[in-house]
Copies of this chain bind each other. A is one copy, B any other.
Amino acid sequence: MSTAQGARARARAEVTAAIKEAARRQLAEEGAARLSLRAVARELGMVSSALYRYFPSRDELLTALIIDAYDSLGVAAERARDAAPDAAPVDRWTAVCEAVRGWALAHPHEYALIYGSPVPGYSAPETTVPAAARVGLVLIGIVRDAHQGPGLSLPPLPADLRPEAARIAADLAPELPAEAAAALVAAWAQLFGLVGFELFGQFNRVVEDREAFFRHAAGGLARQVGLADG
């Protein structure tokens, strides 16, 4: 067995998991700014210096939580994508958008951690990139399916954006037309604008029925990326 590495390694993995769990709880309750290594250690009945055997700094612990958060959001998006594989692309799109919103509302501090302001002195290491890409890949996949199925309806690009759109398409989804790739990236960013504004209180006293409003806006994003209208 590969896990037969010994009791020591298993204990280390367990303590690491316990630290992350406690930290995630504190993060959910207090927010990233208030997450304290000493408090985590206290909760686990250790002394603060012992924690440094597992995470070399508070920022490293935060990075681990960031990756977990990206993964958790990615899983939520993937589940929504796979829930109704035969539905119309526009419905799958809005389902994924609503899953993103739902995850954000359920994990506001984790959402703030990954899509809010970068917390510490600029540490967004490369290791977070694959996890961060997951939800984007889900969106790309839906548009790709639609492109290979019912097709996309998109206006042509202005000349000055054509090279950039081609570059984006080449990097992101070579099988998609350039205008779809560009629209997709814009819609991706705009989706998180909608979610972030609701979550961070900008919609207070402005939008009441946020569910309905978001569903409508997500449908607009779907139209924007060329998914056929209902």
What interface size band does chain A fall in?
35 or more
- CB-CB < 8 A to A119: which residues of B? 33, 117
Q: Which of B30, B193, B216 contacts A157 (CB 8 A)?
A: B216
CB pair A172–B206 under 8 Å, yes or no, is yes
Chain B residues whose CB sits within 8 angstroms of the CB of A31 once the complex forms = 117-118, 120-121
- Closest residue of chain B to A230 (Cβ to Cβ) is B158
Q: Say if the beta carbon of A217 comes within 8 Å of chain B.
A: yes
* Chain A contact residues, majority secondary structure: helix
- Copies of this protein in the assembly total 2
Please determine whether A160 and B212 come into contact, CB atoms closer than 8 angstroms.
yes
Name the contact of A194 in the complex, choosing from B120, B186, B201 (C-beta under 8 A): B186
Residues on A lying within 8 angstroms of B by beta carbon are: 30-34, 112-113, 115-121, 123-124, 129, 132, 157-158, 160-161, 163-164, 167-168, 171-172, 182-183, 185-186, 188-194, 196-198, 200-203, 205-209, 212-213, 215-217, 219-220, 224
Residue of B nearest to A217 (CB): B186
Contact A186 B220 (CB under 8 A): yes
Q: Is the CB of A193 within 8 A of B189?
A: yes
- Across-interface contacts of A215 in B (CB, < 8 A): 160-161
Closest 5 CB pairs of A and B: A193-B193, A116-B117, A112-B117, A190-B190, A189-B197
Interface CB pairs A-B, < 8 A, 16: A31-B118, A34-B121, A112-B118, A132-B202, A157-B216, A158-B219, A160-B212, A164-B213, A182-B213, A182-B216, A186-B213, A189-B203, A189-B217, A190-B194, A192-B202, A220-B224
